[in-house]
């Protein structure tokens, strides 16, 4: 009796299955583009123009009345648009919130690193100031040289005066 290949139950089967690969971010990007478009004057212009043409055709053109006076079909179209627009806008806002959160975390990390660098530089500067305090300055060296020069001059005068 031939032995059947053993399949592991903890791993999905891959052979012989139809695989549909979708970009998980594609719908999010689409919703952001649509939400961005819904907030423009261009969208408002075209929507207003569509409503005006719709109402004019349904009131004036007797033979083309597909949506009589209460304009129920137009209301249905607006309701459908609102039903889809609100969740798409919320999805776009959530994605923006996620990006803002990541950006804020990066800014906090950058600020912490900048603070640490600044504190390090302040300590180094303080150490340099202490070290410079112990180093001979130009004015101090000049005054000491002048003092030595005067003492030497006095000593030479004293040597000349005492034969």
pLDDT tens digits, one per residue of 105-159: 999 999 999 999 999 999 999 998 888 777 777 888 899 999 999 999 888 888 7
Distance CA 161, CA 101 (A): 89
DSSP conformational letter for 63: G
- Nearest-angstrom CA–CA distance, 5 and 87: 48
How many structural domains comprise the chain? Answer: 1
Determine, yes or no, domain membership for 3. no
Handedness of CA 153, 157, 159, 160 (dihedral sign): positive
Residue 18 resides in a domain: no
Kindly state whether residue 1 falls inside one of the protein's structural domains.
no
- For residues 74 and 54, the answer to whether their CB atoms sit within 8 Å is yes
Q: Is residue 107 part of a domain?
A: yes
SS3 percent helix, strand, coil of the chain, rounded to 5, is 75, 0, 25
Query: Out of 11-20, 37-46, 47-56, 143-152, which region has the weakest mean confidence (pLDDT)?
Result: 11-20
Q: pTM of the prediction?
A: 0.50
* Confidence (pLDDT) at 117: 96
Domain boundaries, position 119: 26-158
Q: Compute the radius of gyration of the chain from its Cα atoms.
A: 43
pLDDT > 90? residue 68:
no
Does residue 9 form part of some domain? no
Task: Classify residue 11: in a domain, yes or no.
Answer: no
| Cα 28 to Cα 2, 20, 37, 81, distances in angstroms | 50, 18, 14, 18
């Amino acid at each position: 009796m031939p032995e059947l290949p053993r399949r592991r139950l903890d791993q999905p089967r891959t052979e012989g299955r139809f695989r549909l690969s979708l970009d998980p971010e594609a719908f999010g990007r689409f919703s952001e583009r649509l939400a961005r478009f819904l907030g423009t004057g261009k969208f408002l212009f075209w929507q207003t123009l569509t409503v005006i043409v719709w109402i004019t055709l349904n009131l004036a053109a007797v033979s083309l009345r597909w949506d009589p006076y209460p304009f129920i079909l137009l209301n249905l179209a607006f309701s459908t648009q609102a039903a889809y627009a609100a969740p798409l806008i919320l999805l776009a806002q959530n994605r923006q919130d996620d990006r803002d959160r990541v950006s804020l975390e990066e800014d906090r990390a950058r600020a912490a690193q900048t603070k640490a660098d600044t504190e390090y530089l302040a300590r180094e500067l303080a150490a340099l100031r202490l070290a410079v305090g112990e180093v001979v300055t130009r004015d101090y060296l000049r005054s000491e040289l002048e003092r030595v020069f005067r003492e030497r001059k006095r000593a030479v005068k004293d040597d000349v005066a005492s034969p």
